[in-house]
Amino acid sequence: MAKKEIEIKKQLEDIGNKILKDVKENRVPYLKVPARTTNNIVFDPKTLCYILGDKTLTRSAGNIRHVKPLAQMLKIGAFCKELVSEGTKHETKRGLYYISESWGEKLKFDEQQESDNLIEDIEAIIEKPREDIHIIPNPGGSVYGDLTLKFKNPAGKDMQINCLQTADGQTIGPRMCEAEIVKCNANKIIAIETAGMYNRLMEENAHKKFNAILVSLEGQATRATRRLIKRISEIKNIPTYIFTDGDPWGLHIAMVIMAGSAKSAHVNRMLATPSATWIGVTASDIKKYKLRSDKLREVDFTRIKELKKDPRYKQDKRLQEELKLWEDIKKKAEQQALLKYGLRYVVDDYLPAKFKELGANVK
Amino acid sequence: MTEKRKTAEDMAKEQRAISVAEFFEKNRHLLGFDNPSKALLTVVKEAVDNSLDACEEASILPDIKVDMKQLEENRYQITIEDNGPGIMREQIPRIFAKLLYGSKFHRLRQSRGQQGIGISASVLYGQLTTGHPAIIHSKPHEKGKTHVFHLKVDTSTNEPEIIKEDLINDGMEHTGTKITITLEGKYIQRYHSAEEYLKQTAIVNPWAHITYKSPDGEKVDFPRVVNKLSEPSKEIKPHPYGVELGILIRMLKNTKARNLSAFLQNEFCRVGATSSEEICRLAGLKADDKPKDIEQKGQENLLKAMQRVKLMRPPTDCLSPIGDKILEQGLAKEINAEFIVTITREPSVYRGIPFQVEAGIAYGGELKEKVEGSEEDEESEESSDQVKLMRFANKIPLLYEPSGCAITKAVSSIKWRRYGLEHSAGNLPKGPAVIVVHIASAWVPYSSESKEAIANYPEIMKEIRLVVQECARKMLMHIRKQTKAKRETERLNVFENYLPLILESAKELAGVKEKIDIKPIIDKVIKKDLIDYGKKGD
């Protein structure tokens, strides 16, 4: 068993031992769980992340409202310990909800919301994302470039893959996101919002041209993708650039990669890549490149107002200015609007110009 | 114009007494013989009602046997036997084979039968549908012999026709009457069945012992649980509050009293010297006015004055309520409920006629199983989860015409949700309950001649509502107590259920196999929870 897994197992055992100790010492057993309530979600200006504050909740077996969820949480813990010990097996949140059916009338969940909530409690207690206890997110997104990863295949066998040796890029699933980084000579990661632009960059040899790892986000990035970006970026100490559509929604996709979401405040430290930078398409780009654009709608304006007030944006002058500019020009553009200048334009002109503008190495 | 104008003489030739057979044919629905299934029930009902009345009048604890046999597909023979006082030989033919003969029509007193029509109509129905005479056994003296009559109604004269008469020694040790009628009919079960009728009768007459043998050969025993008859009722005079002008005028004309004061005191109940003086004063009449001489204006004033003066309620001894204790015993023996409440109201008056309402609610127990279990009464109009409402008038179950009845209307008009039952306005509430309402009166105001529904007098409706609401309040207290107890056990069960599971998962998590006792923790938690729970004052 890997060192990481031994550590996780130990953490889970500690939870069980704490309860047993209470019982043996004739105390009503309880657990302290970091509070995930809004009043305990705080903004950390250092990392620009939302993280949990110091408040904890006590889940006591002597409380009529706690006793059932506490029993269920321990049962989930016991189940996950099995998964971790087994090594190769993973389950999704939805799957766990259905598995609870086999735990009997008393422990089974009536709604997936209930089991999801307890999984997040366990994440908060052990301060690890649920992937570590083998409750995996849905795959989504893929990675392409000269990156060699080592992982255990579903049969439990050690395997290596180079992401260039794939047809469409390597899908980022539970095994990929935790895989050991064997080789990575790139000096940057470029994360791309749309699959269409990702394909363009692959075909235009952008990974070679910019010495980059290409990551397809396919909209809002999955936890697995965010986790992989963070790991490569931090382990290899290389910067991440995020290339999105030119609207407040695209900007926020970048922001979640950089700073995490409020909802995942308890695991943001394991998922967020604070050093990442948003490339664009910016509001200024829409003007500068005279991109084909649509009018901003009411929801877009509302979103801009929200973002302007968001602490994650407040300190960043550049982002504040871009938000303001959107309000002025009242326009948004997709990243593929750049194709009006030809297939190669993004790679030959737009991105090199942006990297220079951001003070990054092009090559 | 060419048609010849009829003279009174011509018309007189066409005018004749109609035969009872014709009368019966035209009125069979009023008499309870609208259809073959109802006919069986009506015969049982008329004979049992008569038996109960006779036993009560003779202060005998009733023992009644009902035997229903199927002779052919649509032909039945019903025998009803009682241990009543029997009937004197001379009376037998007229009681059983002459319509509209009886002792009960003329008096203001509570009894089951009122019109002297039921049993002879049953005899006539049997005779018209099968040609068989009714066979009557009657033994009026313990040591004497038994009279046996085979009787028919002469349908042209409405006089008894004696087919055969015997005097036999049947060795029976008590007095009593037995009647056997052969008739066409159709045997049904459930709601409108003879068995249901007898069951309901047994509930409100728990001093009676009734046995029933159904055509299927099934024997049902309705035991006696009370060894005392209800107090016999007495005849009474009308009460001033309820008299109508027409009746008052007739009474003024027919009275033997010489003056108004004596008239008021002699002809009405609850009027003494003081109140009669008060009435005269209010009416602007003199105490020594001659009743016959009072003019129309005076009569009207007198009526108004009679209704304004403060009087005691009419005496209740003309009424024979079941009594709350006895009704409770009756319900308890026939329905295995977890909670029973019964209340007898003080008597009240409608149109000068005293009446008294009693009610009872049986809740839960076997009734809960029924609600959950089955689609019971497919034939009845009510859906199966509605409460069962049993209506009674003078201790007689009313099985038909529920929707037109004051009892159903009054009960449906109560806001049942306040009392813990599901309810949609205008219907009977839903829930595992039986509601019993009994109206006792010297003259029950039926809404139709078939005597299946009570007329909607506001006074009666009000009394029904009040007494049923009072029962419902007690039921609600029970339901609340029960749900509270249930909730408390549920709370405790939560701990008892989940603490062992917590221990189990914790052991799994820790990878520990040793035996650890969770019981002390459960005890501790439950004790603490009870204190906390109590503090909240739920």
pLDDT per residue over A148-183, tens digit each?
A: 999 988 888 999 999 999 989 999 988 888 899 999
Q: What is the mean pLDDT of residues B97-101?
A: 75
Least confident span in A148-157, B80-89, B347-356 = B347-356
Task: Work out the pLDDT band at B106, boundaries 50, 70, 90.
Answer: very low
Using the structure block, give the residue that is written with the tokens 């008894």: B160
Alpha-carbon radius of gyration of chain B: 30
Residues 6+ apart with CB under 8 A from A282: A246, A322, A325
CA distance B446 to B448: 5
β-sheet bridge partners, residue A58? A32
Same fold, A3-136 and A142-357: no
CA distance B227 to B329: 11
Least confident span in B26-30, B120-124, B345-349 = B26-30
Using the structure block, give the residue that is written with the tokens 């127990």: B365
With CB atoms and an 8 Å threshold, state whether B494 touches A67: yes
Tell me the per-residue pLDDT of A193-213, one tens digit each, with 9 for 90 and over: 999 999 999 999 999 999 999
Task: Please say whether the structural domain B240-308 has been given the CATH code 2.40.10.220.
Answer: no
Residue B379: pLDDT above 70?
no
With CB atoms and an 8 Å threshold, state whether A16 touches B505: yes
B324-479 fold: Ribosomal Protein S5; domain 2 (3.30.230)
Compare CB distances from A107 to B499, B501, B508 and report the shortest one's residue: B501
Smallest CA–CA distance, residue B528 to chain A, in Å, is 8
How much is the pLDDT for A265? Answer: 87
Smallest CA–CA distance, residue A76 to chain B, in Å, is 9
Residues 6+ apart with CB under 8 A from A230: A270, A271, A272, A273
Tell me the per-residue pLDDT of A265-305, one tens digit each, with 9 for 90 and over: 888 888 999 999 999 899 999 999 999 999 999 999 999 99
B contacts of A64 (beta carbons < 8 Å): 491, 494-495, 529
β-sheet bridge partners, residue B430? B386, B422
Is the CB of residue A12 less than 8 Å away from at least one CB of chain B? yes
CATH, domain range B20-222: 3.30.565.10
Task: Work out the pLDDT band at B367, boundaries 50, 70, 90.
Answer: confident
Half-sphere exposure of B149 (CA within 13 A, CB side): 26
**Interface A-B: count of C-beta contacts within 8 A:** 93
How much is the pLDDT for B375? Answer: 46
Is the CB of residue A179 less than 8 Å away from at least one CB of chain B? no
B513 → chain A, closest CA residue? A20
Q: Where are the domains of chain B?
A: 20-222, 240-308, 324-479, 484-536
Residue B537: pLDDT above 80?
no
Is the CB of residue A99 less than 8 Å away from at least one CB of chain B? no
B533 → chain A, closest CA residue? A64
Task: Work out the pLDDT band at B381, boundaries 50, 70, 90.
Answer: very low
B contacts of A8 (beta carbons < 8 Å): none
How much is the pLDDT for B382? Answer: 46
Residue B395 Rama label (left phi>0; alpha psi -120 to 50; beta): left
With CB atoms and an 8 Å threshold, state whether A106 touches B501: yes
Q: What is the mean pLDDT of residues B90-116?
A: 66
Instruction: Please name the helix (run of DSSP H) or strand (run of DSSP E) that holds residue B474, with its range, or none.
Output: helix B458-510
Using CA atoms, how far residue B260 sits from A181, B238, B313, in Å, is 121, 16, 21
Task: Work out the pLDDT band at B370, boundaries 50, 70, 90.
Answer: low
Least confident span in A4-18, A67-81, B356-370, B456-470 = B356-370
CA distance A106 to A118: 16
Q: Check if A50 is active-site.
A: no
Compare CB distances from A71 to B491, B498, B528 and report the shortest one's residue: B498
Question: Which position has the higher pLDDT, B219 or B378?
Answer: B219
Task: Work out the pLDDT band at B28, boundaries 50, 70, 90.
Answer: confident
CA distance B264 to B206: 40
Task: Work out the pLDDT band at B377, boundaries 50, 70, 90.
Answer: very low
Least confident span in A236-240, B113-117, B318-322, B507-511 = B113-117
A contacts of B498 (beta carbons < 8 Å): 61, 67-68, 70-71, 106
Is the CB of residue A25 less than 8 Å away from at least one CB of chain B? no
B contacts of A62 (beta carbons < 8 Å): 495, 524-525, 528-529
Q: What is the mean pLDDT of residues B178-203?
A: 89
Least confident span in A28-32, B9-13, B300-304 = B9-13
Using the structure block, give the residue that is written with the tokens 């095994």: A175
Using the structure block, give the residue that is written with the tokens 């092009």: A362
A142-357 fold: Dna Topoisomerase Vi A Subunit; Chain: A, domain 2 (3.40.1360)
- Contact residues, chain B to chain A, C-beta under 8 Å: 491, 494-495, 497-499, 501-503, 505-512, 516, 518, 520-521, 524-525, 528-529
Residue A184: pLDDT above 90?
yes
Tell me the per-residue pLDDT of B466-497, one tens digit each, with 9 for 90 and over: 999 999 999 999 989 888 888 888 888 888 99
Catalytic residue among A97, A98, A198, A241: A98
For A70, the token pair is 């506490």
CA distance B205 to B218: 22
Task: Please say whether the structural domain A3-136 has been given the CATH code 3.40.50.720.
Answer: no
Least confident span in B142-151, B401-410, B443-452, B463-472 = B443-452
Beta strands A49-52 and A41-44 are: antiparallel
Q: Where are the domains of chain A?
A: 3-136, 142-357
For A338, the token pair is 């750049």
With CB atoms and an 8 Å threshold, state whether A26 touches B499: no
With CB atoms and an 8 Å threshold, state whether B506 touches A81: no
Is the CB of residue A77 less than 8 Å away from at least one CB of chain B? yes
With CB atoms and an 8 Å threshold, state whether B521 touches A81: no
Smallest CA–CA distance, residue B536 to chain A, in Å, is 13
Residue B229: pLDDT above 90?
no
For B185, the token pair is 């009919």
How much is the pLDDT for A22? Answer: 92
B507 → chain A, closest CA residue? A16
How much is the pLDDT for B103? Answer: 52
Is the CB of residue A70 less than 8 Å away from at least one CB of chain B? yes
- Helix intervals (H) in A87-222: 93-99, 112-126, 174-177, 195-203, 206-209
Task: Work out the pLDDT band at B452, boundaries 50, 70, 90.
Answer: confident
Q: Indicate the average pLDDT of chain B.
A: 84
Q: Indicate the average pLDDT of chain A.
A: 92
β-sheet bridge partners, residue A214? A144, A190
A contacts of B524 (beta carbons < 8 Å): 26, 28, 62
- Single-letter residue type at B480: R
